[in-house]
Amino acid sequence: MNKPFNHPLFIALKKIAPALAAGNSVIVKPSELAPISVLEFAEMAAEAGIPDGILSVLPGYGRTTGTELVSHPLIRKVDITAGTATGRALGSIVGSNLASFTAELGGKAPILIFDDADILSAVNGAAFASFIASGQTCVSGTRLIIQESVYDAFMELFLEKVVSITRRMGNPMNPQSTMGSIISPHHLRRIDETVRRRSSGTILAGGEPMRGTSTLDGFDFSQGSFYPPTVIADVEIEDGVWKEEVFGPSGLQCICFKDEEHGISLANYCQYGLGAGIWTKDLSRAHRVAERLESGLVWVNTHHRNDPSSPWGGMKESGIGRENGIEALEAYSQSKSVTVNTAAPEESRVKDDWFSEQPNGKRYG
């Protein structure tokens, strides 16, 4: 199991649990950026009675440790959460060993705001979808697709919310701080470069790394890799920033749509298909649109909720297979057919002699 840096323990646990329940031994390779919680969990598991060798944690870099692990012929199942490029690379290795493969990969979640949505709830929900965990989740809302009749009203309130979030960013240890740091300086540079090299759109909020000190508590932003909530309007759908996963609070593009058909086409115009959100009071519309969205996960009037019994996974370039629920248990199991002849020996001697010398003997082929 290759695990990412975001939600390092949570994502590991929802893979470890069904794997152990199905009777497997598990090796976890946590992210080199966030290994500690998984290592401590393994110690707790051993204290709780998990036998030695059943659950192992092997820290290291993905390009070395991870590649060596998935290449080993004794590994019969590989389960990763990673970017799509990593998924392709590891998937080719797994395929050459004819091992099973589950991959939860990149995402670029659309959030559809219909004209009958409760605007204030949609504003709060879109902010939660887009900026929780500093936007570093695979199902973050990154494409706000708003019906044109409510676009102005929604954007006015949404930008007020963004300003409020930014104003209250500060020391991550301060409970009043709204949003924390990007995972590393490398990721911060990548986010900034993605925003700068876009070929369209107007930045309405954010747009560059945070400098100076916090107005909340005087925290020095140079002590971390801070990027503010960023909103870009009128991005062309052929632009890389519309299509590429940014994995940070900088990737939120806003665009308006005319009608249901137009909104669905904009939402589906992406190589990813992991998560999506719908905001509407009309549940018939919600179900109708959800069915047509090319996403493995669809939320209606909410986002990021994760029911352990509900399958979790993507379509298109967002991965292969499902986590959670009975699907996860089955993914860590193999079916087997055992056929037993229960006839008495006397009956079998007569009926199962396919090459009997008696007349009217059975013929096959």
Residues serving a catalytic function are 104
Contact by Cβ (8 Å): 16, 26: yes
**Cα–Cα dist 250/255, whole Å:** 15
C-alpha pair distances (Å), 104 with each of 15, 41, 237: 11, 22, 24
Beta-strand ranges (E) seen in 10-120 are 26-28, 55-57, 77-81, 100-104, 109-113
Amino acid at the residue 105? L
C-alpha closest to that of 21 among 308, 274, 297: 308
Strands of the sheet containing 319-320, edge to edge, are: 77-81, 100-104, 319-320
Contacts of 5 (CB under 8 A, 6+ apart): 31, 33, 34, 136, 183
- Provide the token pair at 309: 């019994």
State whether residue 319 is helix, strand or coil: strand
Contacts 24+ apart (CB under 8 A), 157-163: 157/119, 157/120, 157/123, 158/123, 158/126, 158/127, 158/231, 159/204, 159/205, 159/231, 161/123, 161/124, 161/127, 162/127, 162/205, 162/206, 162/229, 162/231, 163/205
